[in-house]
Structure 1
Amino acid sequence: MNGSGAAGEVRRAVLAAHRALPAANRAAPVLVACSGGADSLALAAAAVSAGLRVHAAVVDHGLQPGSARQAAITSDALVGLGVVSAVHAIKVDGPGGPEAAARRGRYAALRAARPHPDSPVLLGHTLDDQAETVLLGLGRGSGPRSIAGMREWDEPWLRPLLGVPRRVTVAACAELGLTAWQDPHNTDPRFTRVRLRHEVLPLMEDVLAGGVAAALARTAAQLREDADALDAIAAERLDEAVDGNTVLLAPLVGVPAAVRRRVLRLWLVDRGVSSLTDLHLRAAERYVTEGPDRGGAALPGGLELVRERGRLAVRPVSRAPRPPLEDVSRVRR
């Protein structure tokens, strides 16, 4: 793979992202997550060309007829590129629907497949994927954290191609004589992301005279910078407010709401509370700004938030019936 053309562009993106890694991750072999599609296949070839020690994991979700055969074909193609490759079959089940369950299973398999504890896992998300992620976040009202999109480095996940359009990875495969797999799910209109890709974004590109995907990706980058700055301020405030397993209310009074909710999120995540939504955080914030002492703000995982004696605590839900989350602002005890 020379330095010109689409393949060279992909290679340069991989090298730049890899050089920016922390030293320990940079020294470890990489694991490329490869579905056999153009994005991940071009990524694997670029990693080899860049001189990295490359392993690959092909995850077979078992959701389509012949998936095991296709996974084996992809793995063989990777071996032909000089990659140490293995197929990982997973069972897709659990809450949240098939897309969410497949994502959980895939990411768990990729973590387990890393050849070294410090190995980065290279994912083939492109600029177009970033634009789709931003649109999904906007449409769902998920807030700035979601609209900020995917990070290039979010240990152990490394996304070197977030600045590379999908058309470039397709062209790179053509230049290298690589036959990419066309996943039928990528054209199935039952999936929201597919409709965004084939209907919404092309319409926006037409109406706004092009450049929409790149503009959405720039918006995501700007929001990530803002979010990082606010998170750093929130971490300082949390240091001032945390007291053992509780948070003192006084240091959070008068703090801007955007910072206060971030403080609460950092603290709740540290307390083992996951899957927090904006609704959870706003309910928690009301416990800071509104008295009197009370409990009952429902949190994920069978937990609830309690306000007492000038501090917040998290405890398992008591057996006494509690009001639903949206009603907590009207509770006075």
Structure 2
Amino acid sequence: MSGPAPAVAAVRTAVRRALADVPGGATVLVACSGGADSLALAAGLAHEARRRARTGSALVAGAVVVDHGLQEGSAAVAETAAHACRALGLDPVRVVRADVGAAGGPEAAAREARYGALHEVAREERAAAVLLGHTLDDQAEGVLLALARGSGERALAGMRPVRGVLRRPLLALRRADTEAACAAQGLVPWQDPTNGRGAGTGPDAGALPLRSRVRRDVLPLLEEVLGPGVAPALARTADALAESADALDALAADLLADALRPGDGDVLALDVDALAAAPAALRRRALHTAATRAGVPAGALARTHVLAVEALVVDWRGQGDAHLPGGRVARRACGRLYLGRPDATSGAAARARRRDDDEHDGRE
């Protein structure tokens, strides 16, 4: 008896490895749009659930379909994807409508809404893991976009295989593998018109999302000029940078813990001297984390914002607040750096000055 097609076997193996630490009885969901990547992953999860049921370590294997409501007929597409998941034997299958805002642009807003919906369903279903269908090609596209934007190494490190409840089993596989896996199993994936698959087909390039334009036009051109293997090379770069970024993040977390001082309400207070003594790379990482803890949206926090906050530490000339996204500010007073809402940081700084004056009077 012959085994499954190579692409099917590759997807199943990837799912099995990704769930090796998930105990029997746990709930695992797959985020399925109906496209080739997520549909192949859904089939892989269904197979793994059947295999584990035979071994006495059964999983509750389900799916969640997010309807962004951004395209005409999106509800019908979502229901078709849900039907395909049910046909594979997945249960429960949830269809949820995401409330897509406008902050950060359409792609970032849709992504934020999607992840918010996935986390909410994961909490409701008490899921141990939510599987995402990102492939090596998605990783390469993201790294290329990060390079073009001049992003730091954390962005260049790309997507991680595991981040909290989210898991990405297919990051080592190509998009061609998921398409082949669907074809071998008789699965008909949905073709998203905004994906821009195939140069010269579908919407005009200018009407496509930026990532789709990179997929359709930029990566094929790089392959033509530089030769095959550009996408795997970009993915390897992401893996290498992830190792360095993880090490620096750990050191920056230690620095932030050392610099933290007792808070004043909901204001984050940091010791300026502890920050100033640290290497710039660690200090900036610590300040980035501190800003997000103070309520600055991570997706809106740019390097220019972090450098403005850092100037309050290493280039102090009595300058005013550093204004940050999300209606937050950074303010220096009495050897402390305060991050939070403008009114709260003003109050915390004023109280610090009064304490400093009282201590000075007491010494006299």
Q: What is the TM-score with the length of structure 1 in the denominator? A: 0.89
Pairing partner for 1:222 from 204, 222, 240: 240
SS, match of residue 178 in structure 1:
coil
SS, match of residue 321 in structure 2:
strand
How far apart are the structure 2 equivalents of 1:164 and 1:118? 25
How far apart are the structure 2 equivalents of 1:97 and 1:235? 30
Cα distance, 1:4–1:69 mapped onto 2, change above 3 Å: closer
Moved more, 269-278 or 282-291: 269-278
How far apart are the structure 1 equivalents of 2:25 and 2:320? 49
How far apart are the structure 2 equivalents of 1:87 and 1:251? 49
Q: Given that residues 5 and 184 in structure 2 are in contact (C-alpha distance below 8 angstroms), is that contact kept between their aligned partners in structure 1?
A: no
How far apart are the structure 1 equivalents of 2:127 and 2:151? 31
Structure 1: 4+ residue segments shifted above 4 A:
1-4
Residue 249 of structure 1 corresponds to 272
Cα distance, 1:310–1:27 mapped onto 2, change above 3 Å: farther
Larger Rg: 2
Pairing partner for 1:238 from 250, 256, 262: 256
Q: Given that residues 27 and 61 in structure 2 are in contact (C-alpha distance below 8 angstroms), is that contact kept between their aligned partners in structure 1?
A: yes
How far apart are the structure 2 equivalents of 1:197 and 1:205? 12
Are residues 1:304 and 2:329 paired? yes
Q: Given that residues 131 and 168 in structure 2 are in contact (C-alpha distance below 8 angstroms), is that contact kept between their aligned partners in structure 1?
A: yes
Residue 16 of structure 2 corresponds to 15
Moved more, 247-256 or 111-120: 111-120
How far apart are the structure 2 equivalents of 1:99 and 1:281? 24
Match of 2:146, as an amino acid? G
How far apart are the structure 1 equivalents of 2:95 and 2:125? 18
Pairing partner for 1:97 from 94, 105, 110: 105
SS, match of residue 330 in structure 2:
strand
Percent identical residues: 48
Q: Given that residues 5 and 181 in structure 2 are in contact (C-alpha distance below 8 angstroms), is that contact kept between their aligned partners in structure 1?
A: no
Moved more, 262-271 or 300-309: 262-271
Q: Given that residues 90 and 109 in structure 1 are in contact (C-alpha distance below 8 angstroms), is that contact kept between their aligned partners in structure 2?
A: yes
- Residue by residue over 1:226-281, the C-alpha shift from the partner in whole angstroms, topping out at 9 and shown as x without a partner, is 01101111111122211113111112223211111011122222223323211111
Alignment of 1:59-74 (within 5 A): 59-74=66-81
Alpha-carbon offset, residue 104 of structure 1: 2.3
Pairing partner for 1:82 from 83, 89, 101: 89
Residue 41 of structure 2 corresponds to 43
Q: Given that residues 92 and 105 in structure 1 are in contact (C-alpha distance below 8 angstroms), is that contact kept between their aligned partners in structure 2?
A: yes
Cα distance, 1:91–1:262 mapped onto 2, change above 3 Å: closer
Match of 1:31, as an amino acid? L
- Residue by residue over 1:272-319, the C-alpha shift from the partner in whole angstroms, topping out at 9 and shown as x without a partner, is 332321111111111110124443100122121111111201242259
Residue 168 of structure 2 corresponds to 159
Moved more, 7-16 or 308-317: 308-317
Are residues 1:314 and 2:323 paired? no
How far apart are the structure 2 equivalents of 1:70 and 1:241? 50
Moved more, 114-123 or 28-37: 114-123
Cα RMSD (Å):
2.0
Are residues 1:54 and 2:69 paired? no
Q: Given that residues 294 and 308 in structure 1 are in contact (C-alpha distance below 8 angstroms), is that contact kept between their aligned partners in structure 2?
A: no
How far apart are the structure 2 equivalents of 1:20 and 1:13? 13
Residue 282 of structure 2 corresponds to 259
Cα distance, 1:148–1:77 mapped onto 2, change above 3 Å: same
Residue 361 of structure 2 corresponds to none
Residue 202 of structure 1 corresponds to 220
Pairing partner for 1:110 from 109, 118, 126: 118
SS, match of residue 295 in structure 1:
coil
Q: Given that residues 3 and 9 in structure 1 are in contact (C-alpha distance below 8 angstroms), is that contact kept between their aligned partners in structure 2?
A: no
Q: Gapped runs of 5+ residues in structure 1?
A: 320-333
Match of 1:16, as an amino acid? R
SS, match of residue 338 in structure 2:
strand
Are residues 1:290 and 2:297 paired? no
SS, match of residue 31 in structure 1:
strand
Match of 1:94, as an amino acid? A
Q: Given that residues 295 and 304 in structure 1 are in contact (C-alpha distance below 8 angstroms), is that contact kept between their aligned partners in structure 2?
A: no
How far apart are the structure 1 equivalents of 2:297 and 2:12? 37
Q: What is the TM-score with the length of structure 2 in the denominator? A: 0.82
Moved more, 152-161 or 34-43: 152-161
Cα distance, 1:201–1:267 mapped onto 2, change above 3 Å: same
Match of 1:212, as an amino acid? V
Residue 6 of structure 2 corresponds to 5
SS, match of residue 19 in structure 1:
coil
